[in-house]
Chains A and B, each alone.
Chain A
Amino acid sequence: MKWRAAILAAGVCGWLVSAAGQQPQQNFDNVKIQVTPVQKNIYMLFGAGGNVTVQVGKDGVLLIDTEFEPLVPKLMAEIKKLSDGPIQYIINTHVHGDHVGGNDAFYKLIPKNPQLPLNIIAHANVLNRLTAPGPNGAPGTSTAEHPGFPEDEYDTPYKDFYYNGEPIFIYHEPNAHTDGDSVILFRGSDVVTTGDIFTPDSYPFIDIARGGSVKGEIDALDHILELTVPADHQEGGTYVIPGHGRVCDEADVVEFRDMVVIVKDRVQDLIKKGKTLDQVKASKPTEDYDTEYGANGADRFVEAVYKSLSGK
């Protein structure tokens, strides 16, 4: 219940309900966790909400994102099948509830070992938003109440460390999907986890209220393309775990990046012609992409692009 209050304080409940396509009182009883081997040390787990990245090796287990609290026991059961080592790291790609919702539950389930403490990492803006005062002067949520908050925050362009035999880079992608997005590169396994900057089956949710922008979104996608190298004739090589959807590679990110740029260029052109937001929406600048990325999210995407570019 306290965790729900924290999510509410961070203002992400609306996202949790609408963007993830979940009902507020969703029953997770019948959700099964699918485990997809990605490459070398890396697996992708999916039940409901965002994808979970799992890195296993001689040192232990590292997780990226935690889905929803009720799913944590099921996620733990699948992780134990991959490794009986200790979970030492959780990284949150951003603040939304379908990616951080299981943090507290993981913290509680993971045995405490002073020699091998659990580190929960995210960009500082994630922690700032989770602990920010609520509307109408409501006090912020304290980290004492929520041991699963990412208190190992970073506030630099990137953070790196070595774990399970490979370097791990956590890059801050400023003002992209939100203002606290991280993209994680596993340099030995050659896998990149993107969070919701990249969602191959749906338009990006550019969360303007939480610092997102279309320029930052495109810059972040271009950075992901810099990090990925195809093995041969534009496929394979570096694999990409998106915030939602199947395992991808560079070629899939290119399709998505191009769509975002093309829609941005169309909206920019309409703004130059003096069109209002309603007129821009009425012109259907995403019509040729709606059957691919979902017409339901089109208006929200166009509105975010318009507001990003016009400042209105």
Chain B
Amino acid sequence: MKKTAPLLLLIAVMGVPAFAQMDFTGEWAPLYHEDNPERIPGPELGDYMGIPINNAARLRGDAYDADRISVVSEYQCRPHGGDYSMRGLANMRVTEEYGPDDHLLAIHTRMNFQEQARTIWMDARPHPSELAPHTFQGFSTGTWEDNMLAVFTTHEKESYLRRNGLPRSDKATFVEHWVRHGNLLTIVTAITDPVFLTETFVRSQTWQLDPGQRMGRDICEYVPEIAKPVGTVPAHLPGTNPFLHEVADWYGLPFEATRGGSATLYPEYKDKAPKPDKVPAMCDRYCACGQNGRGCNLH
């Protein structure tokens, strides 16, 4: 009997990891205080600061013409990629699915924008073969690291790192850590992309529990918005994009800094960066974004 008690205790303790250590279920509203200008009004054209892109990604961003979405109608109903969806404009519902033995089988997320739905498999199943189809949300598996949920995602379709044309390839993978403190949920996303990134790109976003939240359906029908001959793909020819200096000029930044790359990721870059070409006398663009509930005014 004396030997049985510790054994039972050990079994009880070891049994815990089979269940969720933290409950993430519920209705979550995104908080936009972090990176507000990028997430709410949208990133400025040519702003690649703080992203460890390679030159191929930089040139793809330079060639990007937003008319592409209007002309190539197949882009209009696309959801964000799984990595970007956590910082995009959408509220989120998290639900759990249990298997017949009452072990956590999967965590599901649903966001209303373009009906993004992810499944995070918690049953240690393997990821599909390299030849399997990719999806915008990718294939995700989760494990517990104490009370933190660690999620690994593969099999995403090609999408974007930032909504100004910076690409993220279908070879990319990402790791998320979900952390809950009371009614706040913080998700840290680390993206690795051998095609377009020179090092891992990390960003975070926070959500607030909102039990009264009700999400609608997002029905999308794509149409040609600008009549063009079949096969037309709007893009700036190399060296002809007239908008690339805007972000530096508007915000008084060195143009070099707006070109992004690993160096611009680190605080010490501020000391090394060249002087800006010109500095506006006063802030006149997105000066109050997210402050005290105020909107993003242009002037």
| Residues of A participating in the B interface, judged by any CB pair closer than 8 Å | 34, 36, 44, 46, 200, 218-219, 222, 225, 230, 232-236, 239, 245-252, 254-255, 257-258, 261-262, 265-266, 269, 283, 285, 287-292
- Please measure, in the bound complex, the distance between the C-alpha atom of A219 and the C-alpha atom of B229, giving whole angstroms: 12
Residue contact A254 to B131, C-beta cutoff 8 Å: no
B205 sits at the interface (CB 8 A): no
* Complex contacts, B132 vs chain A, CB 8 Å: 36, 246-247
Annotate B44-76 by CB proximity to A: 1 below 8 A, 0 otherwise: 000000000011111110110000100010110
Q: Which residues of A contact B134 (CB under 8 A)?
A: 246, 248, 252
Q: Judging by beta carbons under 8 Å apart, are B130 and A291 in contact?
A: no
Cβ distance A267 to chain B, nearest Cβ, rounded Å: 11
B235→A262 contact, CB < 8 A: yes
Footprint of A on B, CB under 8 Å? 54-60, 62-63, 68, 72, 74-75, 77-79, 114-115, 129-136, 157-158, 169-170, 195-196, 220, 230-233, 235, 237-238
Please give me the 6 A-B residue pairs with the lowest Cβ-Cβ distance, nearest first: A288-B59, A261-B233, A291-B56, A288-B60, A247-B133, A234-B78
* 17 residue pairs bridging A and B, Cβ less than 8 Å apart: A46-B131, A233-B136, A233-B220, A234-B78, A236-B135, A246-B132, A247-B131, A247-B133, A248-B133, A251-B74, A251-B157, A261-B231, A266-B238, A285-B238, A287-B56, A288-B56, A288-B63
**Is B59's CB under 8 angstroms from A232's CB?**
no
Q: A225 near B74 (CB under 8 angstroms)?
A: yes
Q: Please name the residue on chain B nearest to A228 by beta carbon.
A: B74
- In the complex, what residues of A have CB within 8 A of residue B129's CB? 34, 36
Given A261-B233, A265-B237, A266-B238 in contact, is the A235-B59 Cβ separation under 8 Å?
Answer: no
In angstroms, Cα B132 to Cα A34, docked, is: 11
- Which residues of chain A come closer than 8 Å to B170, judged between CB atoms? 200, 252
> A262 contacts which chain B residues (CB < 8 A)?
63, 233, 235
Q: Are A258 and B233 in contact (CB under 8 A)?
A: yes
A232–B115 Cα distance when bound, in Å, is 9
Contact between A252 and B74, CB atoms less than 8 A apart: no
Judge whether A233 and B238 touch: CB under 8 Å.
Answer: no
| A246-B54 contact in complex given A233-B78, A258-B72, A262-B235, C-beta closer than 8 Å | no
| Residue on A nearest B62 in the bound complex, by CB | A288
Give, as a whole number of angstroms, the nearest-CB distance from B68 to chain A. 8
A179 vs B170: C-alpha distance when bound (angstroms):
31
Chain B residues lying within 8 Å of A219, measured Cβ to Cβ, are 231
B63 touches A252 (CB 8 A): no
For B195, list chain A residues within 8 Å (CB). 291-292
Among A222, A285, A288: residue with most chain B CB under 10 A: A288
Q: CA separation between A291 and B58, bound complex, in Å?
A: 12
B237 and A233: CB pair below 8 A?
no
Contact A235 B135 (CB under 8 A): yes
Q: What's the Cα separation between A289 and B196 when bound, in Å?
A: 10
Residue of A nearest to B136 (CB): A235
Q: What's the minimum C-beta distance from A207 to chain B, rounded to whole angstroms?
A: 21
Q: Which residues of B contact A255 (CB under 8 A)?
A: 158
Which residues of B are found within 8 Å of A232, using beta-carbon distances? 115
Instruction: Determine how close the nearest CB of chain A comes to the CB of B50; give it in whole angstroms.
Output: 20
Q: Which residues of A contact B78 (CB under 8 A)?
A: 233-234, 251
